[in-house]
């Protein structure tokens, strides 16, 4: 995509749950032949005093911006274009279970927690988390799909995306650099982003709301049953004998075990 569209800037945020090294990740980027497009910051220990504009990224051919959450910058000598997210970006809370609890206050990194002024003075980019959880069986949280038409809406209803974006724009003195949502095609969330960017008639955009019946069925299944639980059921159906502990950890909608004759 980066190679084919000369005017497109792509931002990638990798959640590094497996603690991959910069060398590990760099190997994959090199295999994909995209390192030549990567933006490299002037420092690996602090945000630049001036971030490039979109046009500057395009003109410089550095149209791939990559953040990693998280990455040990001190050991990253092979791929400085792989930026440790929390050196350059701050985030508001991501674990929200009530639509009235969305906040613009920084939660991560801890160095600027609840301190907007400190985050902005360090010239960190604001990432606005805006997705809602619901608590289900065993106090496990899952994405709240039933409220998403409000959560992702441009206006109306408690916790809507448009109002949250406006509030954070006021709090930061600038619009969020990034907005992270669940079910991005619903709301539609993109309408709020278009408004922030002053876009009224997008050109060449694919309509992502047109999904197949199979996709809708899959989405329905996974909104009611955790993927981990589905995987565990499939193992049991294949003849494995998962322990009770495994069932507890994979807990979800016990009434939708997809067959297998499993009872508690």
Domain ends where: 87, 113, 147? 87
pLDDT at 261: 41
The bridge status of strand 141-143 relative to strand 133-135 is antiparallel
pLDDT at 216: 53
pLDDT at 206: 80
Instruction: Tell me: do 176 and 104 sit in the same domain.
Output: yes
Instruction: Tell me: do 73 and 54 sit in the same domain.
Output: yes
- Is 205 inside any structural domain? no
User: Model pTM?
Assistant: 0.80
Instruction: Tell me: do 96 and 178 sit in the same domain.
Output: yes
At 262, the pLDDT band (50, 70, 90 cuts) reads very low
| Euclidean distance between CA atoms 184 and 55, whole angstroms | 25
Residue 249, H or E segment? helix 244-249
- Is 218 inside any structural domain? no
Strand partners, 128: 179
- Is 121 inside any structural domain? yes
List the 178-180 sheet strands across, edge first. 89-91, 125-129, 178-180
Instruction: Tell me: do 193 and 229 sit in the same domain.
Output: no
Instruction: Tell me: do 47 and 99 sit in the same domain.
Output: no
At 193, the pLDDT band (50, 70, 90 cuts) reads very high
Q: What is the pLDDT of residues 84-112, one digit of tens each?
A: 999 999 999 999 999 999 999 999 999 99
Instruction: Tell me: do 125 and 160 sit in the same domain.
Output: yes
Instruction: Tell me: do 68 and 106 sit in the same domain.
Output: no
Q: What DSSP string describes 199-212?
A: -SS-SS---TT---
Please state the domain count of the chain: 3
- Is 220 inside any structural domain? no
Range of the domain at 169: 90-199
pLDDT at 250: 59
| Euclidean distance between CA atoms 105 and 107, whole angstroms | 6
Instruction: Tell me: do 37 and 69 sit in the same domain.
Output: yes
Q: What is the pLDDT of residues 26-70, one digit of tens each?
A: 999 999 999 999 999 999 999 999 999 999 999 999 999 999 999
């Amino acid at each position: 995509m980066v190679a084919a569209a000369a005017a497109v800037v792509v931002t990638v945020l990798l959640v590094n749950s497996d603690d991959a090294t910069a060398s590990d990740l760099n190997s994959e980027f090199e295999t994909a032949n995209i390192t030549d497009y990567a933006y490299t910051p002037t420092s690996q220990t602090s945000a630049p005093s001036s971030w490039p504009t979109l046009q500057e990224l395009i003109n410089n051919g550095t149209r791939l911006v990559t953040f990693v959450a998280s990455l040990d910058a001190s050991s990253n000598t092979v791929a400085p274009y792989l930026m440790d997210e929390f050196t350059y970006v701050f985030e508001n809370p991501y674990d929200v279970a009530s639509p009235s609890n969305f906040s613009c206050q920084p939660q991560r990194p801890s160095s600027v927690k609840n301190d907007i002024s400190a985050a902005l003075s360090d010239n960190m980019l604001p990432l606005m988390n805006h997705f809602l959880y619901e608590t289900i069986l065993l106090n496990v949280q899952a994405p709240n799909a039933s409220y998403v038409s409000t959560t992702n809406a441009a206006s109306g209803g408690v916790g809507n995306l448009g109002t949250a974006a406006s509030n954070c724009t006021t709090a930061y003195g600038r619009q969020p650099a990034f907005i992270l949502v669940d079910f991005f095609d619903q709301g539609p969330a993109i309408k709020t982003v278009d408004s922030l960017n002053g876009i009224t008639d997008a050109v060449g955009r694919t309509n992502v709301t047109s999904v197949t019946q199979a996709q809708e069925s899959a989405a329905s299944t996974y909104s009611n049953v955790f993927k981990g639980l589905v995987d565990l059921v499939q193992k049991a159906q294949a003849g494995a004998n998962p322990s009770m502990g495994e069932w507890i950890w994979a807990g979800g909608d016990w009434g939708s075990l997809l067959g297998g004759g499993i009872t508690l």
